[in-house]
Structure 1
Amino acid sequence: MAVAATPAVSDQPEAQTPGQIPFDLSQPPIIEGFTPLTKAKDESFKEKFLRKTKENPFVPIGCLGTAGALLYGLRAFHQGKTRQSQMLMRGRIFAQGFTVVAIVVGVFATALKPKQ
């Protein structure tokens, strides 16, 4: 004999207050004893780029130097100027090193700067 399974229905009211949605994904969860930090203003790519450039201007300078040396070195290589091409590739390596050092110095400077 087969017995039909009926879902168990609880007579207990749920633990939520009237009018409250159990999971509102548009709001952060409320955790007792925890106050979240306020969300920083969303900034566009241009605003973030300008802010980061002002914080550490040597990184974009190093990137431009690296790209410039690479492009001129490839152009010289294509034209058959091997000596000039080699010198520009060495300059590219120097510019890359400069950029890496600028990034590391910027990271340490940001880490040591007191929080506002």
Structure 2
Amino acid sequence: MVAATTPVVPEQTPPSGAVTFDLSQPPHIEGFDALPRPKDEPFKEKFIRKTKENPFVPIGCLATAGALMYGLRAFHQGKTRQSQLLMRTRIFAQGFTVVALVVGVFATALKAKQ
């Protein structure tokens, strides 16, 4: 029967000029200043702040959800023409929301540069 043994590795000292890392501290990178961590804000406050910054995104989300619900209700009731119209409205509302998001991102990026 063969016993499993672990090889013994002698402790090695780093050669002169070698870099050692202290993992208990964040690294120091020359020319880089770490930003302070933003304060933790509750969901409600963040939602209100984001809505004030770009009010068209929640409006588009509500329009999308409303058109979807009414469209599914019309489909369930057998009103195919109204259902199709509401599904097209939903697609328009989704497009509006995506455009509002993109415009908001660009506006925020431009505001940060100024």
**Does residue 56 of structure 2 align to residue 58 of structure 1?**
yes
Shift of 1:114: 3.3
Q: Indicate the RMSD between aligned Cα atoms, in angstroms.
A: 2.7
Rounded Cα–Cα distance in structure 2 between residues aligned with 1:110 and 1:44:
21
Q: Aligned residue for 1:86?
A: 84
Rounded Cα–Cα distance in structure 2 between residues aligned with 1:54 and 1:103:
13
TM-score normalised by length of structure 2: 0.72
Q: Aligned residue for 2:3?
A: none
Rounded Cα–Cα distance in structure 1 between residues aligned with 2:93 and 2:74:
18
The percent of aligned pairs where both chains have the same amino acid is: 78
Rounded Cα–Cα distance in structure 1 between residues aligned with 2:64 and 2:45:
24
Cα gap change, 1:66/1:9 in structure 2, threshold over 3 Å: closer, same or farther? closer
Shift of 1:44: 2.3
Rounded Cα–Cα distance in structure 2 between residues aligned with 1:86 and 1:28:
57
Cα gap change, 1:81/1:29 in structure 2, threshold over 3 Å: closer, same or farther? same
- Out of 27, 42, 45, which is 1:44 matched to? 42
Letter in 2 for 1:95: A
Shift of 1:37: 1.7
TM-score normalised by length of structure 1: 0.71
Q: Counterpart of 2:112 in 1: which secondary structure?
A: coil
Unaligned runs of 5+ in 1: 11-21
Rounded Cα–Cα distance in structure 1 between residues aligned with 2:112 and 2:31:
26
Task: Single out whichever of 106-115 and 61-70 deviates more from structure 2.
Answer: 106-115
Letter in 1 for 2:54: N
